Structure 1
């Protein structure tokens, strides 16, 4: 059975009424079907140099995140700066000591954001890799940027999905009220 969690989410026990209200307010999780009419709206992810968390959550938690990455990858031609940024990310992944232990490492970027998924059989080593990726001395990410993290476990695999800014001007995450 798979378990999922979104980091920065309050997980303390609440009375039943509060838990029901919180569940009703949470964005509905979508499964992305490459041939479906309900295509992901990537343009809604960033407004006024801020990432819209309510638009991002259904994508980063999608059952078929691989299909989301496929669509995100072919969305448009990235700028030269973003292409270089993505190349630095790929170099970091290849040079990482945990690279041989990663079952999957995939990053897709547009001119605003990058979406990434990393998985491994070793949860602690994956956590260490992601920590180094996000804030280590050799991290390829923009200083002062924004990151959203989603974790999932199942079938013996540990998976961490990330969304982070490819545009250094995007430094905020907009939360719904």
Structure 2
């Protein structure tokens, strides 16, 4: 009877094993790339018509504001994070992908990679973020541009994004080759490799 009196109103938004944070912890492996907006590029290749986008190209696309929860595999969660950027579904109107593309590899400045299935990538709530809480996305948080995939752990929301390689089968990225789960769904606690 009294259990609901002590339950957080946001309890259903916090996956098992996660704790809320007020800040925005910085989690980085290796050196932090510092890419100026005017030098930033996003290359598309693989099972897609090869194309390179500049910062100006990205800013010419439809801009959207997003509010999304953010869950890190290191057990912290931040609710109602406010971003601005370009919906993945809007971005896809600017490229041509072959039907056999079932997966993609996210490539980043600094050499980091992570994989994602097309069905997880092509969702209305996913976006390329360039603004965080009304300010340009800080380099420590992945600026100038990162992908944000709110329904997966944050390592799938690759920081310093500079490439999308479309593939016909799953290939493992950096963290997946080093023991992390190939998908990373927080509410299923897909933290570590199932292989």
Higher normalized contact order (CA 8 Å, seq sep 6+, divided by chain length): 1
Q: Which has the higher helix share?
A: 1
Q: Which has the higher strand share?
A: 2
